[in-house]
């Protein structure tokens, strides 16, 4: 079993060697460190991998559990750190399959060349294709609107007369949420919006009526005329301003 496992890994390691020597591997690791400023765990994992990548520079097949034991860390910490290094394109995991017994074995952990020396053009091209695809998907998103969103847009009109404050709107939501008559049916949200706007219009109309009633009962008191002093004995002069 050990001979088969060793042969499989040696064969796969020869296919994924990216460095001609250990010195070149160390140089690229230094470039990676200058670019990403690794954390203590990331630096320690790279150090362990480089120490076990001498036969095939940059390629080893340590199990994550073995790395965790060497670091005196949990397996979750090792998995999270390895995933971060993969995200930085510092290392990659290559699955290795056994021909006998038909099962997976431990992955190859391959140290990748630094972007400043190798692969920057290909990676930039891949990044450009990804950005182009994401922009195309973003442009097509507005066309894929559901019928419910279109219905809501028809009901919520952009009218300057309907500027509902956030606090007022929250109060109406709490009030209408308890109303069981609008909590059923397929167009539930449409009913909620319609009911909220109707309630808002009703309250605004009540405010306008109250303000109009207050203005109609307000009396203006004239300023005191110092030149033509009122005759206090004459009742008509004392009560003229009430008319």
What is the SS3 assignment for 210-228? HHHHHHHHCCCCCCCCCCC
Q: Mean pLDDT throughout 205-219? A: 81
- Is the separation of the CB atoms in 157 and 122 below 8 Å? no
Average pLDDT, the chain: 71
Q: Mean pLDDT throughout 154-158? A: 49
- Is the separation of the CB atoms in 46 and 90 below 8 Å? yes
Domain range summary for the chain, segments of one domain joined by +: 2-116, 140-243
Domain 2-116 CATH class label = mainly alpha
Whether residue 118 has pLDDT greater than 50: no
- End-to-end Cα distance, the chain: 114
- Which of 31-35, 96-100, 144-148, 164-168 has the weakest average pLDDT? 144-148
Instruction: Give the whole-angstrom CA distance, residue 243 versus residue 220.
Output: 10
Residue 131: band (very low, low, confident or very high) from pLDDT cuts 50, 70, 90: low
Q: Which residues pair with 110 in a beta bridge?
A: 59, 92
Whether residue 116 has pLDDT greater than 50: no
Q: What is the structure's pLDDT at 4?
A: 40
Q: What is the structure's pLDDT at 74?
A: 92
Portion of the chain with pLDDT greater than 70, in percent? 51
* Residue-wise pLDDT tens digits, 60-103: 888 899 999 999 999 999 999 999 999 989 998 888 776 555 55
Whether residue 135 has pLDDT greater than 80: no
Q: Mean pLDDT throughout 213-225? A: 66
What is the SS3 assignment for the chain? CHHHHHHHHHHHHHHCCCCCCHHHHHHHHHHHHHHHCCCHHHHHHHHHHHHCCCCCCCEECCCHHHHHHHHCCCHHHHHHHHHHHHHCCCEEEECCECCCCCCECCCEEEECCCCCCCCHHHHHHHHHHHHHHHHHHHHHHHHCCCHHHHHHHHHCCCCCCCCCCHHHHHHHHHHHHCCHHHCCCCCHHHHHHHHHHHHHHHHHHHHHHHHHHHHHHCCCCCCCCCCCCCCCCCHHHHCHHHC
Residue 60: partners with Cβ closer than 8 Å, 6 or more residues away: 49, 52, 53, 108, 109
Portion of the chain with pLDDT greater than 90, in percent? 11
DSSP string over 226-237: SSS---TT-HHH
Length of the chain: 243
Q: What is the structure's pLDDT at 198?
A: 81
Residue 148: partners with Cβ closer than 8 Å, 6 or more residues away: 187, 189, 190
Q: Which helix (H) or strand (E) holds 201?
A: helix 188-217
């Amino acid at each position: 079993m050990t001979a088969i496992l060793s042969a499989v890994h040696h064969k796969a390691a020869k296919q994924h060697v990216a460095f001609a020597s250990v010195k070149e591997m160390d140089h690229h690791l230094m470039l990676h460190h200058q670019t990403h400023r690794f954390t203590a765990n990331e630096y320690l994992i790279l150090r362990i991998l480089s120490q076990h990548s001498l036969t095939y520079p940059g390629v080893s097949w340590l199990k994550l559990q073995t790395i965790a034991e060497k670091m005196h860390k949990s397996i979750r910490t090792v998995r999270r750190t390895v995933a971060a290094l993969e995200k930085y394109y510092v290392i990659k995991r290559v699955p290795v399959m056994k021909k006998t017994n038909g099962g997976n074995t431990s992955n190859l952990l391959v140290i990748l060349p630094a972007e400043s020396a190798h692969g920057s053009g290909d990676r930039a091209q891949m990044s450009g294709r990804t950005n182009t695809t994401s922009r195309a998907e973003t442009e097509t998103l507005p066309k894929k609107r559901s019928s419910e969103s279109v219905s809501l847009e028809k009901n919520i009109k952009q009218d300057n007369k309907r500027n509902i404050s956030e606090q007022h709107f929250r109060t109406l939501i709490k009030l209408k949420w308890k109303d069981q008559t609008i909590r059923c049916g397929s167009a539930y949200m449409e009913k909620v919006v319609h009911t909220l706007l109707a309630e808002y219009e009703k309250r605004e109309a009540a405010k306008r009526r109250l303000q109009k009633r207050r203005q109609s009962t307000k009396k203006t008191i004239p300023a005191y005329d110092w030149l033509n002093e009122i005759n206090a004995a004459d009742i008509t002069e004392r009560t003229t301003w009430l008319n």
